[in-house]
Amino acid sequence: MSTSTRITTGTTTEGQLPALFNAVCFAFKNALNGILYPRRQHQQMETSYSSNECRSPEIEALAREILLLERLEAQLATEYGMTGDIDSVEVFDETKARAFSTNDENTISALKDLHSLYQLRLRMSSIQLPRYLNFEESPRTRHVDTSRFWAVLIGIDAYECNPLHGCVRDALLMERYLTEDISVPKHRIQSLLGSNERVSSSNYHIPTRVNIIQTLVGLMNNAEIQSGDNIIIYFAGYGSAYSTAGYCSNPMDSIEALCPIDRTEGNGSHIPDISDREINVILQNISRVKGHHITFILDCSHSAAATGDLKQGVRTIPPLSNGSPKNMLDVAD
């Protein structure tokens, strides 16, 4: 059965890198568990949340809220004709599409409830995370067929403006984790590294906008990747955000973006950032051809970018001064 896994690590400062990598490894281990045991239905979640482990009043309160909203999620999945395991991402996307197309108050309310469910699940995970950071082996752990794993690892330090430190190292640590700890064949890992120093390997490509997009699209076109194979995409670098004022009916909306190493403006040339819309389209196309076992880890931040509140060491940067949502979307087309 299919399952969708999306992980975002959020704002990161340079001093937090060791803790972050431990958290990423934990999150990835959880993703592996979800791939091995994909039938993590809402009914099974009810059993786990209702067990004697839930001794904390906060966890019990969260569990009650989650279970209530998961019943709504299951009801919507049935209404939409979805069978088998409940794919939360699929239910959310369908509800969002219906809310925007019909402007129905009940559908809009359901969309808000599903967003609340997502936030509650994140909160529950953040509370439970410290209990598992010792990486104790699960009693049901079994052999993972890592021949069915593929990865794209992107780490960018060498930005022309405000270069970073540690992103390439993090990507290399992730590569080492995949190859040494869980024995993913190295030829199934594509690394795009933009280092402030020379990286001694002919296997690494420069993370330009074109290279990043072509590498991601290449996952969809790679005949060796079978439907149901597990795909990991990791990005460490700058994120940014663009206001949609004048382009969208909601002036509070923004377009988040990943920043390639060659983002430029002026002198007659303009290489825009990669919008979340473009990334989402690529991921949807990959999942349609290769299945839903896609883990996307973002080690960047977008929150301070729109306001220009750039803190030292935080992986966010203001938008390009002559950039606009239209420019990014035009290039994506």
Position 167 in a domain: yes
**Which pTM does this prediction carry?**
0.59
> What mean pLDDT, rounded, does the chain reach?
76
Q: Higher-confidence residue: 20 or 83?
A: 83
> Mean pLDDT throughout 96-123?
88
| Statement to judge: residues 66 and 173 lie in one domain | no
Domain of 225 in residue numbering reads as: 5-37+147-332
The CATH number of whichever domain residue 218 belongs to comes to 3.40.50.1460
Do 114 and 95 meet the contact criterion of CB atoms below 8 Å apart? yes
| Statement to judge: residues 49 and 175 lie in one domain | no
Position 266 in a domain: yes
Position 175 in a domain: yes
Position 121 in a domain: yes
Concatenating the DSSP letter of every residue in 15-57 gives GGHHHHHHHHHHHHHHHHHHHHS----HHHHHHHHTSTT--SH
* Strand (E) or helix (H) holding 332: helix 325-332
Two structure tokens written together for 144: 């993972």
Position 68 in a domain: yes
Q: How far is CA 11 from CA 7, 53, 132, 277, in A?
A: 13, 30, 21, 20
pLDDT digits (tens, 9 = 90+) for 1-11: 333 444 344 44
pLDDT digits (tens, 9 = 90+) for 111-130: 999 989 988 888 887 777 66
| Statement to judge: residues 62 and 180 lie in one domain | no
Two structure tokens written together for 169: 């190292």
Q: Which amino acid is at 205?
A: H
Cα distance between residue 104 and residue 16, in whole Å: 44
* Strand (E) or helix (H) holding 230: strand 230-236
| Statement to judge: residues 154 and 249 lie in one domain | yes
Position 24 in a domain: yes
Specify the number of domains making up the chain: 2
Phi then psi for 298, rounded to 5 degrees? -110, 115
| Statement to judge: residues 127 and 264 lie in one domain | no
| Statement to judge: residues 122 and 198 lie in one domain | no
| Statement to judge: residues 127 and 229 lie in one domain | no
Residues in a beta bridge with 21: none
Position 137 in a domain: no
pLDDT digits (tens, 9 = 90+) for 293-331: 999 999 886 444 433 444 444 456 667 766 566 666 666
